[in-house]
Amino acid sequence: MPRRLPGCLFGITLGILLTLSEFGMTLNAEEVETDHGAMHEHGAGHDGHVAGSQWEGSAEGKAYSEFNHHVAGGLVVLIGLAELAGALRWSRLAWSRALLPVAMLTGGLFLLLWSDHDAWPIGHLSFSQTYLGRDHEIFQHKTYAILLLGLGTIEWLRRSGALRHVAWRLPLPASAVVGGLMLFMHAHGAHPSAHKIALHHAAMGTLALLAGSCKLASVQGTVRPGETRVSRWELAWSGLVLMIGIQLLFYSE
């Protein structure tokens, strides 16, 4: 009999969630206060421009950020629907297994190029300033991009049969958990809607942690070729991914 994931994992996950949520909110508030103080002292905004032309919180900045989140939401919804088809063992939609790696590779490339208007390659910052600079928001966006590109490549190779060892099934749930944890530490600098953004990220972080836990539970089971049994863990995983995608589609600042 395959070993089941201990039920206490969800309690542990939620305990970590509550602790990080409180810490993340405090961190975000402190960062906003620090950035506002720096703006008043130096007359500079988040991107180094004068405060009067501050990007964060401006109409253009909000539209840019919301567009990026909505594009990500569409890709995540596609992943959720594809994973739902797999969880329900819809054999006629076997091609949908390719949607997850394709969506991840597309999302990773999109973030790598377009996540921040100041960052390399579309903004005025150089490659080294983008990846080695002190802007944590940009750094996290680019980290997500690299994670998506790497994970999409692994999933493409695994689902095409090139990577057969069961260990290659672990990066997907592990990345969901790591990505969820990162969301609690993600802030948008001196943004007038910083608290609302923090709540968005806390909700997505919660869903990502739970989704990763469910996917990890499904990895511990043995799936035989042609098996038609529906896995409750995979259903939960796909449902939570869909919820993240829907939240991203309705993201607003």
Whole-angstrom distance, CA of residue 237 vs CA of residue 215: 6
Residue 108's pLDDT is what? Answer: 96
Q: Could you read off the pLDDT of 29-56 as tens digits, one per residue?
A: 444 444 444 444 444 444 444 343 477 7
Most confident region among 122-126, 139-143, 148-152 by mean pLDDT: 148-152
Angle at Cα 158 formed by Cα 154 and Cα 159, nearest 5°?
120
Asked whether the predicted pLDDT for residue 156 surpasses 70, the reply is yes
190 confidence band (pLDDT: 50, 70, 90): low
Average predicted confidence (pLDDT) for the chain:
80
Overall average pLDDT of the 196-209 stretch = 91
Asked whether the predicted pLDDT for residue 95 surpasses 90, the reply is no
- Choice among 171-180, 183-192, 224-233 with the minimum mean pLDDT: 224-233
Q: Could you read off the pLDDT of 101-128 as tens digits, one per residue?
A: 999 999 999 999 999 999 999 999 999 9
253 confidence band (pLDDT: 50, 70, 90): confident
Residue 83's pLDDT is what? Answer: 93
Overall average pLDDT of the 144-149 stretch = 95
Whether pTM > 0.95 for this model: the answer is no
Overall average pLDDT of the 130-154 stretch = 92
Overall average pLDDT of the 155-178 stretch = 94
